Structure 1
Amino acid sequence: MAEVTVRYWAGARDAAGTDDERLVAASVREVVAALCARPGPLAEVVRRSSVLVDGQVVRDDRTLVDGQTVEVLPPFAGG
C-alpha cells in the first residue's frame, strides 16, 4: 500500500469539493475504484477522466509507491 496525493482538475475538483487529498492504495485501479464508490457526482466525472501518475497518462493499471501524485483530469474543450 502506498500513500499518494490525488489532485483534481476542473470539473473533478468541483465534484470532489477539494483541490487534492491523500489516499492509501496499492494501485491506480484501487484509487479509481475508491473514488467511483463515493456518493455524488465524483464517480461519473472520474469514469470520463484521464488519470495521470506523476504527470504521465496511465492507460493501464499501475502499482503505486509512497509520495506519488495521481491526477484526475476531466475532458475539456476550448480554444
Structure 2
Amino acid sequence: DEQQTTCTGTGSCHVECDRTAICPDEDEVCVTIWRKKDDNVTFDTVCHNPAHKLYGLMLEDYNSSKCEMKEKKGMG
C-alpha cells in the first residue's frame, strides 16, 4: 500500500520497522521504498526477490536489521 510520509526524499530516512508484508515466496523479502515526484513523497511496502532488480536497481543491505531507506539515483 502506498502511503504519505514525512521523509523529505533526500539522503536517508529511518522508517518504522513495524511495516511488514507476508511474502508468498520464501525467496522474497519485505522492502519499503520511497518515491518522490515533485514535492509529493510516498512510501510503499512490497515483497521482492533480491536476486532481481527492483525498479532497475539491485537491493543492497536487505539483510540489515536497521530500518533505513537510502536515496538512489536513476530509478525508472
| Greater strand content | 2
TM, length-normalised to structure 1: 0.32
| Greater helix content | 1
